[in-house]
Amino acid sequence: MNSSLINLAFAAAVFSVSASHANPVTFDAVLNGSSEEPANASPGTGFASVDFDLALHTMRVRVNFSGLLAGNTAAHIHCCTAVANAGNVGVATTTPTFPGFPSGATAGIYDHTFDMSSALSYNAAFIAANGGTALGAEAALYAGMATGASYLNIHSSVLPGGEIRGFLQVPEPGSLALFGFGLAGLALSLRKRQAGAIS
């Protein structure tokens, strides 16, 4: 199955579910150096909360961080790793950093709502890899979060590859019902097929 068909399948599954569930799904992440790959000994910590609303095509990102070894140089969401909760992958959201993120700071608070129907909310490479449209990128990013294959990290001048990060997760397992076990299964199945086609 080629990537265009995979993206269409993701989009169909995600948006058919969203039509009956207008409430946003929240994904949380605890950010630290030990979650980076490779891990580091940064004393920095943080917490991120992402509210993704497929019906409204919005994604609210809230981040609270402190204790970085040096001023941050970038912050964004990466997607989608080949294995849940592990690995490194390219940036999905705006590059080089979230708009309005407190640049050069070792601590700070961030709160921004993205229009996920706009190409300006994504890294152009992520759009190109997911059907060439914002709709395809939105479906892929949401599916990556739903399957534990997406992480938020903060980079600094001391650790330019990433000082602290955390994989985004639905806080309560019961919330999985919002997008259904069928979507999670579909996402994993399609990801395996895509990996098989690449190798």
Backbone angles phi, psi at 111, to 5 degrees: -150, 115
More confident residue, 162 or 18: 162
Distance CA 9, CA 15 (A): 10
Question: Look-up: residue for tokens 């890294």?
Answer: 123
The answer on pLDDT for 40 being more than 50 is yes
Where do the domains of the chain lie?
3-198
pLDDT at 8 over 90: no
Angle at 137 between CA 46 and CA 99, to 5 degrees: 45
Q: Which of 72, 90, 66, 34 is nearest to 159 (CA)?
A: 72
Predicted model pTM: 0.77
**Distance in angstroms (rounded) separating the CA atoms of residues 72 and 134:** 28
Nearest to 61 by CA among 85, 27, 84, 31: 27
Q: What is the mean pLDDT of residues 72-95?
A: 97
